[in-house]
Amino acid sequence: MRKISSLKRIRKDWILYLMLLPGMLYFVIFHIIPIVNMKLAFQDYRIIGENVWVGMKHFEQLFSSPAFKDVLMNTVIISTMKIIFIFPIPILVSLLVNELRFGPYRKYVQSVSYLPHFLSWVVIAGIWITLLNPVNGGVNVIRDFFQLPSLDYMTSKEHIRWVLVYSEMWRSAGWDSILYLAAILKINPSLYEAARIDGASTLQQMRYITLPALMSTVVTLFILNLGFFMSAGFDQVFNLMNDSVLSVIDILDTYVYRIGILNGQYSYATAAGLFKGVIGLVLILGTHFLSKRLTGKGVW
Amino acid sequence: MRQFSMTKTIIQFILFLFTLAVLIPLLNILALSLSDPARVSELSGLGVLPKGFSLINYEIIMSNPFILKSIFNSVFITIVGTLLNLFLTAITAYVLARTEFVGKRIVLVVLIAIMVFEPSMITEYLLMKDLHLLNSYAAVILYKAINVYYLFILMRFFQEVPTSILEAAKIDGAGHFRIFTRIMLPLSKPALATLALFYGVYHWNEYFRATIYLSDPNKWPLQVVLRQFVVTQDNTTLLKGVEGMTPELLATLDFGSLQSATIVVAVIPMLLLYPLILKYFTKGTMDGGVKE
């Protein structure tokens, strides 16, 4: 009975389904087909004729390759550094901005700090390469002031990962504080009034009212970040990479790009991509259910 | 009755330093691009005012046909891409927001799956190859014709349109397409403006798909050309085809300043739209709870 009524409803509103067609065609062609085609990881790519099934060949090759191990390590190290050093900053920024009165100064701080978020990584790379220039870049001007020798950060294996951390911080510290600020604005103002009457200082109010109220947002965003752990920031690395530091900042995505798009080893690169995709999927699903457990709110 | 508070003053000062850390590198690029090439070496890396004043860097960039073409290409990709994005996102969101649509659950599940599992860049590239879309703008524009996050934002917005309006239109004999174009779209102008900005910023800043899909340099958008100068340090392209370029003139130029001028040109559209962006992005992000 229900089936018939559904069919009837579809027939009555057929124009609705016609309107859905372009969108669905797009998703099938440009998302679902490329995902299904990732079976290429288990095949050998042929320019002419059908691809040949080869089982786990490319994965065995991948896991026995020292290059892949390095790339995996880099991805994990860079992602971990970013989570430890970047994640707390927007929380701090939102706490500080919240102490500013609504007015021109607050507006100035917000407008300026959001700006880098809207610049492309190509532009940011240009700005940072200039900023870190060993001859006359801003950072070395400061080093010079403290009579420290000039450093070429962009080609230093020791420093380049920190360049990734700081440039990402520069780009996102302001913008990422927005969600925390939104959560702060929802806090009942009478809490602060009561605290003030009891003689709580600004810092005490931050510590005992604002921060606890932010915790659920913090948890949600933290696990959301974990879900993207395997990505480690492709656009950033792609634009700040150079030959002298490649070995310490080559991550999974840049590796896939190099061996796949540049060298044409399509099957092998797809295997690396699939490995990353599956781990990413497990992380996202895992964090989604963990988040639901902890905060009652999923990632989607 | 505001008391002077030491803590608040310190907080204001810390945030002031923070904004300086953001602004100085940006203003330094601007100062580099506007400095007199003969005096640019005097400019400190923390300097925000140009040494001398000269527009020579901009004149050279603007007389390079290759760069002019790339600016035009970027504008083209941004406009056509954004219009297509808006059309496809809106028409799909309309269907998903209708209660009489059978199969909404399945479609939503598929969309969430698409959101969590991105296809590999390799199979996406091979697909474009199979569709004979390599080296065409279609590849750059089509691969992200609908952003699922934005689709959900618009769907939620459409769902909030009072059903009484739609029922009234239906009684007057309006079909779905008519309701969509005559009622929904005009009613959702603010939401559409927000999405137009989201998508527009994305297209203007996009460089990676253009890098791998467009092999003909004459089709490159500005970001790819800029990447060529800044990241790969290819200075020959920067000067190629510039009229009246003599070795004498070349000797007086500073490449860092020329690169900076190109960066400024790539950022200007963003700065012009920035007041609008601030208004809509901030609101959109806070309302949607979407981090993008």
pLDDT of residue B93: 96
- What amino acid is encoded at B198 in this protein? F
SS (H, E, C) chain B: CCCCCHHHHHHHHHHHHHHHHHHHHHHHHHHHHHCCCCCHHHCCCCCCCCCCCCCHHHHHHHCCHHHHHHHHHHHHHHHHHHHHHHHHHHHHHHHHHCCCCCCHHHHHHHHHHHHHCCCCHHHHHHHHHHCCCCCCHHHHHHCCCCCHHHHHHHHHHHHCCCHHHHHHHHHCCCCHHHHHHHHHHHHCHHHHHHHHHHHHHHHHHCCHHHHHHCCCHHHCCHHHHHHHHHCCCCHHHHHCCCCCCCHHHHHHCCHHHHHHHHHHHHHHHHHHHHHHHHHHHHHHHHHHCCCC
Whole-number Å distance between alpha carbons of B124 and B129: 9
Q: Is the pLDDT of residue B283 over 50?
A: yes
Rounded CA-CA distance A298/A215 in Å is: 15
CB distance B23–A112 less than 8 Å?
yes
Contacts of A47 in chain B (CB under 8 A): none
Residue A1 clears pLDDT 70, i.e. is over it = no
Tell me the average pLDDT across A129-143.
94
More confident position, B289 or A227: A227
Reported as a pLDDT band with limits 50, 70 and 90, residue B241 is confident
Closest chain A residue to the Cα of B265, Cα to Cα? A123
For residue A206, give the chain B residue with the closest CA.
Answer: B7
Name the pLDDT band for B75 (thresholds 50, 70, 90).
very high
Q: In this structure, how many other beta carbons lie within 10 angstroms of the beta carbon of residue B35?
A: 26
Instruction: In whole angstroms, give the CA distance from residue B121 to residue A118.
Output: 24
pLDDT in tens, A181-196: 999 988 999 999 999 9
User: CA of B189 to nearest chain A CA: how many angstroms apart?
Assistant: 20
User: How many residues belong to chain A?
Assistant: 300
Rounded distance, CA A259 to CA A261, Å?
A: 6
Q: What's the Cα-to-Cα distance from B51 to each of A169, B10, B35, B43, rounded to whole Å?
A: 30, 34, 5, 6
**B-chain residue closest to A120, CA distance:** B205
B15, B122, B147: which to substitute to probe chain A, counting the most A Cβ within 10 Å?
B122
B41 touching chain A per CB within 8 A: yes
CA distance B22 to chain A (A): 7
Contacts of A167 (CB under 8 A, 6+ apart): A124, A128, A236, A240
Euclidean distance between CA atoms A34 and B144, whole angstroms: 13
The alpha-carbon gap from A295 to the nearest alpha carbon of chain B, in Å, equals 15
To the nearest whole Å, the CA of A28 is away from the closest chain B CA by 10
Supply the pLDDT for residue B1. 40
Q: What is the pLDDT of residue A2?
A: 53
CA B194 to chain centre: 13
**B26/A contact by beta carbon, under 8 A:** yes
Q: What is the ipTM of this complex?
A: 0.92
Provide the pLDDT for residue B284.
64
Homologous superfamily assigned to B31-288: MetI-like (1.10.3720.10)
Above 60 in pLDDT, residue B290?
no
Please, which pLDDT band fits residue A145 given cuts at 50, 70 and 90? very high
* A173's tokens: 């510290």
Of B122, B204, B207, the CB nearest to A260: B122
Among A4, A7, A110, A120, the strongest candidate for a mutation testing the B interface, having the largest count of B CBs within 10 A, is A120
pLDDT digits (tens, 9 = 90+) for A4-49: 677 888 888 889 999 999 999 999 999 999 999 999 999 999 988 8
- Closest Cβ opposite residue B263 in set A30, A109, A127: A127
Report residue A115: phi and psi, to 5°.
Answer: -50, -50
Distance CA(A184)–CA(A100), nearest Å, equals 13
**Interval B30-46 mean pLDDT:** 93
Q: Which of A20, A115, A122 to mutate to test the interface with B (most CBs of B within 10 A)?
A: A122
**pLDDT band, very low/low/confident/very high, at A300 (cuts 50, 70, 90):** low
Work out the mean pLDDT of chain B and round it to a whole number.
90
CA distances from A77 to A73, A120, A150, A162, A250 (A): 6, 24, 26, 11, 11
Is B94 touching A (CB cutoff 8 A)?
A: yes
Give pLDDT tens digits for B144-191: 999 999 999 999 999 988 888 888 888 888 889 999 999 999 999 989
User: Sign of torsion, CA A16 A18 A22 A26?
Assistant: positive
Minimal Cβ distance to A19: which of B95, B111, B230: B95
**If pLDDT is split at 50, 70 and 90, which confidence band does A211 have?**
very high
Residue B289 pLDDT: 47
Residue of B33, B120, B149 to mutate when probing chain A, most A C-beta within 10 A: B120
Average pLDDT over residues A187-209: 91
Average pLDDT score over residue span B97-102: 88
Say whether B286 and A182 touch across the interface (CB within 8 A).
Answer: yes
How far is Cα A126 from Cα A271, in angstroms, rounded to an integer? Answer: 33
Interval A265-294 mean pLDDT: 89
Contact B25 A131 (CB under 8 A): yes
- Nearest beta carbon to residue A274 from set B41, B120, B177: B120
What is the pLDDT at residue A66?
A: 95
Average pLDDT over residues B35-58: 93
Domain ranges of chain B: 31-288
pLDDT reported for residue A272 = 96
Tens digits of residue pLDDT in A152-177: 999 999 999 999 999 999 999 999 99
Chain center to CA of A121: 13
Amino acid B58 reads Y
- % of chain A exceeding 90 in pLDDT: 75
Taken in order of first residue, the domains within chain A and their CATH numbers are 1-34 (no CATH), 58-295 (1.10.3720.10)
Quick one: pLDDT band at residue A240, thresholds 50, 70, 90? very high
> Which residue pairs, CB below 8 angstroms and at least 24 apart, start in A102-108?
A105/B12, A108/B19
Q: How confident is the model at residue B2 (pLDDT cuts 50, 70, 90)?
A: low
For A89, which DSSP code? Answer: H
